């Protein structure tokens, strides 16, 4: 038996190797990001080949023009949308296609254009797409000129009428663009579907559907071969070769294979296989197509919670909005990966793509890095939230957009839920029932392997969306005081904490006393010197301020931790994002909700999660130790893997504290005295960790710390450089605001600067940044494909220059 299996594998491998040389004749996917011209403003006639664009700016995609703009409360996006400009923009690209492509199908794929894009090829209008978050394809074949002749793609993007999205949207061709060519017989766009209907440790049934397109105009005999490759590239299973009669337009074929001893995909070991499909015609490979495959199974139990591969676990999630801080909406693989790395180190294992279709790269990374994903489609249905939002297009476009999102995303093992709406207003309107049926039908047409959810801010039995009966899972946005009544409110249903928390913090700001909880906007005015809001538009970073509808981090986690049926939480939000500057508005322009600030610097609460959600030893103490003599300061500590923490000030013990009951932190109330604060955590009397904070002196130098000193010379890769203002002894100066000026030499450029301050109106695309609570960030991108050295020099008045050398390889 084993021999036979081996023989089959060997012959399939040999066959594959024999046909590899023909692979070039099949599909080709080229990145189409370079060499565009751009004009901000309308440009009538720019779709015509003879239009003169010599004066236009030359740039590479992805590109977000809003992030390059100037903050103003008068921009139509409003501070809720990030206060950056919108407008109309045009992109043009002239290109040639080799003669060898004649007789092939040629497509252009846009991963996302914000928003209302119209695309032309050689003056011919290909289409219009209003939804700025959706991916789409146009067929260029009938309009292309081959050989030396020039072709022109023109794209008009209209983000002039705002507000049209919550929150910052960005503007332009902000995701990747691809030029795809295939033969006349090929696998369709998003044309495969892989599911694993039965999975156990012993074996997995893999079901694979392939959808084919025939542009030859005649019936064709073809063969379909699909192999499953393991992570090392070895073939571990193969579907039998199928002789298939393709009719003159299209066809679909489904196959099944059993894989013995599958390695399962999980959040801790995200093992990935892939399915490689070849289409043969006249003994030639005419198409090769790779589909990601992760083998896992999951289930929900109304009482016991969520199970992945039979193991009970909680979804420890964050909601993330799509912007990448100072890079804006312009997608960048490394920037996304860095966000996920930071979240992983906090213990996060789930992401909600609030509130729109994400960049495809995010899903690839979640597959690879082991995050569960709630893939969300809509923030509105028919009823508006913002005057010009998607409700204007919902009736005409929602089925198409939802189908496209499902088709694009359904092979990602990371995705375990589809969310068809966030805080949809039809929850309170009987029309919600029919729309819920309609959306659920569309989802189930493309995928029946994952549950559908809506994120409800009205989680009551009167909710019309829930009443539709379409959803087994009931999503709760906030309403944490009602969690414990869940089974009474929704008998037999399964809870999902679709959106939780909504606490507010400014990194590095501490108001005393810290031990009473404030809700914005109720406790707007100062009480005992503390309110939710300060006159300088900051919010204290002790976890004691939340939005009225939400809860603090500790309040939420204590509840979720307590009950098995509370299977998940998705914190609003992992990272700060542009827009929604609750509790303020202008001059604030970005959010205060993140566990991590806009620049990617953790706020203190990050360490509470790290202590609770990871097994690595944690001891974190805060605040900083620069106060007025005699001030009463609350010192908090988050810790794990220890029985107690002892705090010392200048060598004198301030006492031992132990978490009791459901405590998540301990606190000392201390009369401030300059010097050294030291915390020691102990387990069974043995020291686990020690942390110190010193009173910092005046700024004395700049320190530059790169997350990676070597980056790829691919024009895309990034090094995130943290800038720290230190005193003479090497302590971060907590109130340092020095303006740091950057000079960059070599094969790179500054892609963005930031400091995490929601109030800064300095540009993100600049070669300077003020420190905020002692820190700033410079993002360095490799320029073009040339390898070489990148030298970053940072200067600030009165401080010696600091230098950092990076390599682009």
Pairing assessment for the beta strands 494-501 and 273-281 based on DSSP bridges: unpaired
Residues 594 and 614: beta-carbon distance below 8 Å: no
What are residue 633's phi and psi, to 5 degrees? -120, 135
Instruction: Give the shortest CB-458-to-ligand GAL separation in angstroms.
Output: 11
Instruction: Give the shortest CB-521-to-ligand GAL separation in angstroms.
Output: 13
Pairing assessment for the beta strands 177-182 and 151-159 based on DSSP bridges: unpaired
- Our CB check for ligand GAL shows the closer of 38 and 570 to be 570
- Our CB check for ligand GAL shows the closer of 495 and 627 to be 495
Q: Of all residues in this chain, which one has the CB nearest to ligand GAL in the complex?
A: 502
Distance between CA atoms of residues 682 and 158, nearest Å: 60
How far, in Å, are 698, 734, 796 from residue 799 at the CA level?
A: 11, 16, 6
Which element (helix H / strand E) includes 524? none
Number of residues binding to ligand GAL, judged by CB under 6 A: 11
SS (HEC) of 537-588:
CCCCCCCCEEECCCCCHHHHHHHHHHCCCCCEEEEECCECCECCCCCCCCCC
Catalytic residue among 376, 426, 499, 554: 499
The reply to whether 555 sits near ligand GAL by the rule CB under 6 A is no
Q: Which of helix, strand or coil describes residue 485?
A: helix
Residue 550, preceding peptide bond in cis (omega within 30° of 0): no
Instruction: Give the shortest CB-326-to-ligand GAL separation in angstroms.
Output: 21
Q: Mask of contacts with ligand GAL, 124-163, x by CB under 6 A? A: ----------------------------------------
499 is annotated as an active-site residue = yes
The reply to whether 352 sits near ligand GAL by the rule CB under 6 A is no
- Our CB check for ligand GAL shows the closer of 343 and 386 to be 386
Distance between CA atoms of residues 680 and 582, nearest Å: 37
> CA dihedral defined by 413, 419, 420, 422, rounded to 10 degrees?
-150
The reply to whether 499 sits near ligand GAL by the rule CB under 6 A is yes
Instruction: Give the shortest CB-379-to-ligand GAL separation in angstroms.
Output: 7
The reply to whether 166 sits near ligand GAL by the rule CB under 6 A is yes
Residues 782 and 711: beta-carbon distance below 8 Å: yes
Instruction: Give the shortest CB-423-to-ligand GAL separation in angstroms.
Output: 5
Q: Which of helix, strand or coil describes residue 133?
A: coil
- Our CB check for ligand GAL shows the closer of 64 and 580 to be 580
- Our CB check for ligand GAL shows the closer of 285 and 547 to be 547
- Our CB check for ligand GAL shows the closer of 357 and 744 to be 357
Half-sphere exposure of 635 (CA within 13 A, CB side): 30
- Our CB check for ligand GAL shows the closer of 477 and 716 to be 477
Half-sphere exposure of 311 (CA within 13 A, CB side): 10
Tell me which of 505, 580, 597, 754 binds ligand GAL, using CB under 6 A. 580
Tell me which of 32, 557, 572, 672 binds ligand GAL, using CB under 6 A. 572
- Is the torsion defined by CA of 724, 728, 734, 737 positive or negative? negative
Residues 739 and 753: beta-carbon distance below 8 Å: no
Overall residue count recorded for the chain in this entry: 809
Beta strand ranges found along 230-314 (DSSP E): 235-238, 242-246, 250-260, 273-281, 284-293, 298-301, 305-308, 311-313
Distance between CA atoms of residues 726 and 734, nearest Å: 9
Instruction: Give the shortest CB-72-to-ligand GAL separation in angstroms.
Output: 22
**Range 689-748, binding ligand GAL (CB under 6 A):** none
Tell me which of 162, 422, 489, 538 binds ligand GAL, using CB under 6 A. 422
The reply to whether 547 sits near ligand GAL by the rule CB under 6 A is yes
Instruction: Give the shortest CB-584-to-ligand GAL separation in angstroms.
Output: 14
The reply to whether 426 sits near ligand GAL by the rule CB under 6 A is no
Packing angle between helix 605-613 and helix 333-346, nearest 10 degrees? 70
The reply to whether 754 sits near ligand GAL by the rule CB under 6 A is no
The reply to whether 502 sits near ligand GAL by the rule CB under 6 A is yes
The reply to whether 550 sits near ligand GAL by the rule CB under 6 A is yes
Residue 351, preceding peptide bond in cis (omega within 30° of 0): no
The reply to whether 554 sits near ligand GAL by the rule CB under 6 A is no
The reply to whether 781 sits near ligand GAL by the rule CB under 6 A is no
Pairing assessment for the beta strands 799-808 and 136-139 based on DSSP bridges: unpaired
Place of tokens 């979720």: 560
Catalytic residue among 80, 361, 376, 423: 423
The reply to whether 82 sits near ligand GAL by the rule CB under 6 A is no
- Our CB check for ligand GAL shows the closer of 576 and 757 to be 576
Q: Mask of contacts with ligand GAL, 446-465, x by CB under 6 A? A: -----------x--------
Instruction: Give the shortest CB-454-to-ligand GAL separation in angstroms.
Output: 11
Tell me which of 361, 423, 505, 554 binds ligand GAL, using CB under 6 A. 423
- Our CB check for ligand GAL shows the closer of 500 and 567 to be 500
Distance of CA 218 to the CA centre of its chain: 44
Instruction: Give the shortest CB-503-to-ligand GAL separation in angstroms.
Output: 9
Q: Which of 351, 226, 373 is nearest to 296 (CA)?
A: 373
Q: Mask of contacts with ligand GAL, 221-260, x by CB under 6 A? A: ----------------------------------------
Distance between CA atoms of residues 708 and 748, nearest Å: 14
Instruction: Give the shortest CB-321-to-ligand GAL separation in angstroms.
Output: 8
Instruction: Give the shortest CB-446-to-ligand GAL separation in angstroms.
Output: 25
- How many CB atoms neighbour CB 794 within 10 A? 25
Half-sphere exposure of 668 (CA within 13 A, CB side): 24
Please report, for the chain, how many H helices and E strands are present, in that order: 9, 47
47 is annotated as an active-site residue = no
- How many CB atoms neighbour CB 50 within 10 A? 7
- Our CB check for ligand GAL shows the closer of 166 and 213 to be 166
- Our CB check for ligand GAL shows the closer of 158 and 457 to be 457
Using CB under 6 A, list all residues that contact ligand GAL.
166, 422-423, 457, 477, 499, 502, 547, 550, 572, 580
- What amino acid positions are annotated as catalytic residues? 423, 499
């Amino acid at each position: 038996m084993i021999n036979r299996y081996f023989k089959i594998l060997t012959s399939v491998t040999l066959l594959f190797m024999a046909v590899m040389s023909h692979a070039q004749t099949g599909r080709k996917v080229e990145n189409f990001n370079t060499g565009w011209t751009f004009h901000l403003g309308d440009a009538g006639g720019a779709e015509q080949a003879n239009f003169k664009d010599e004066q236009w700016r030359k740039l590479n995609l992805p590109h977000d023009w809003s992030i390059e703009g100037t903050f103003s409360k008068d921009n139509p996006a409003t501070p809720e949308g990030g206060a950056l400009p919108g407008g109309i923009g045009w992109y043009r690209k002239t290109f040639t296609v080799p003669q060898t492509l004649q007789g092939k199908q040629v497509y252009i794929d846009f991963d996302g254009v914000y928003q209302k894009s119209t695309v032309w090829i050689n003056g011919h209008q290909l289409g219009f797409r209003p939804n700025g978050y959706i991916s789409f394809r146009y067929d260029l074949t009938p309009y292309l000129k081959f050989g030396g002749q020039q072709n022109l793609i023109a794209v008009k993007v209209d983000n002039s009428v705002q507000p049209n999205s919550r929150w910052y949207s960005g503007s332009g061709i902000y995701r990747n663009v691809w030029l795809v060519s295939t033969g006349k017989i090929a696998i369709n766009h998003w044309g495969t579907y892989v599911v694993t209907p039965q999975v156990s440790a012993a074996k997995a049934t893999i079901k694979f559907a392939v959808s084919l397109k025939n542009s030859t105009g005649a019936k064709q005999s073809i063969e379909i071969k699909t192999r499953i490759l393991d992570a090392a590239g070895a073939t571990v299973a193969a579907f039998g070769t199928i002789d298939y009669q393709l009719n003159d337009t299209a066809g679909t074929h489904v196959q099944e294979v059993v894989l013995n001893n599958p390695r399962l995909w999980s959040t801790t070991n995200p093992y990935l296989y892939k399915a490689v499909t070849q289409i043969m015609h006249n003994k030639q490979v005419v198409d090769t197509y790779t589909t990601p495959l992760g083998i896992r199974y999951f289930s929900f139990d109304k009482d016991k919670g969520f199970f992945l591969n039979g193991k009970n676990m909680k979804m420890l999630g964050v909601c993330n909005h799509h912007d990448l801080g100072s890079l804006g909406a312009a997608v960048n693989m490394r920037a996304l990966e860095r966000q996920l790395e930071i979240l992983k180190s906090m213990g996060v294992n789930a992401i909600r793509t609030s509130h729109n279709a994400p960049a495809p790269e995010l899903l690839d990374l979640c597959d690879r890095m082991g995050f569960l994903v709630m893939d969300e489609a809509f923030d509105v249905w028919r009823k508006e939230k913002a005057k010009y939002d998607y409700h204007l297009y919902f009736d005409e476009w929602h089925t198409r957009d939802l189908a496209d999102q499902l088709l694009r995303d359904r092979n990602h093992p990371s995705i375990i839920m589809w969310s068809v709406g966030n805080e949809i207003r039809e929850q309170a309107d009987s029309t919600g029932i029919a729309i819920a049926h309609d959306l659920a039908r569309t989802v189930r047409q493309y995928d029946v392997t994952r549950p559908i959810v809506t994120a409800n801010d009205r989680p009551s039995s009167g909710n019309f969306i829930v009443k539709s009966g379409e959803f087994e899972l009931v999503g709760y946005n906030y309403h944490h005081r009602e969690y414990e009544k869940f089974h009474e409110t929704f008998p037999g249903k399964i809870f999902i904490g679709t959106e939780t928390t909504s606490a507010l913090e400014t990194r590095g700001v501490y108001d005393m006393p810290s031990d009473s909880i404030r809700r914005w906007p109720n406790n707007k005015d100062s009480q005992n010197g503390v309110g939710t809001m300060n006159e300088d538009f900051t919010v204290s970073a002790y976890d004691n301020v939340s939005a009225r509808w939400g809860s603090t981090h500790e309040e939420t986690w204590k509840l979720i931790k307590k009950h098995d049926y509370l299977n998940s939480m998705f914190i609003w939000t992992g990272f700060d994002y542009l827009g929604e500057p609750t509790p303020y508005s202008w001059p604030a322009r970005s959010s205060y909700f993140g566990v991590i600030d806009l620049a990617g610097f953790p706020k203190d609460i990050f360490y509470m999660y790290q202590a609770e959600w990871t097994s690595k030893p944690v001891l974190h103490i805060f605040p900083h130790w620069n106060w007025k003599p005699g001030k009463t300061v609350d010192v908090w500590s988050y810790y794990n893997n220890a029985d107690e923490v002892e705090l010392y000030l200048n060598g004198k013990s301030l006492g031992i504290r132990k978490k009791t009951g459901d405590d998540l932190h301990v606190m000392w109330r201390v009369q401030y005295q300059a010097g050294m604060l030291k915390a020691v955590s102990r387990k069974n009397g043995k020291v686990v960790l020690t942390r110190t904070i010193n009173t910092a002196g005046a700024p004395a130098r700049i320190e530059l710390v790169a997350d990676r000193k070597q980056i790829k010379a691919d024009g895309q890769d990034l090094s995130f450089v943290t800038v720290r203002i230190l005193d003479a002894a090497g302590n971060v100066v907590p109130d340092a605001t020095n303006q740091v000026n950057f000079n960059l030499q070599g094969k790179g450029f500054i892609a963005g600067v930031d400091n995490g301050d929601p109030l800064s109106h300095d540009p993100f695309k600049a070669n300077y940044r003020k420190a905020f609570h002692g820190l700033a960030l410079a993002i360095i991108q490799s320029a073009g494909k040339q390898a070489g050295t990148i030298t970053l020099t940072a200067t600030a008045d009165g401080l010696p220059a600091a230098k950092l050398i990076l390599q682009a390889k």
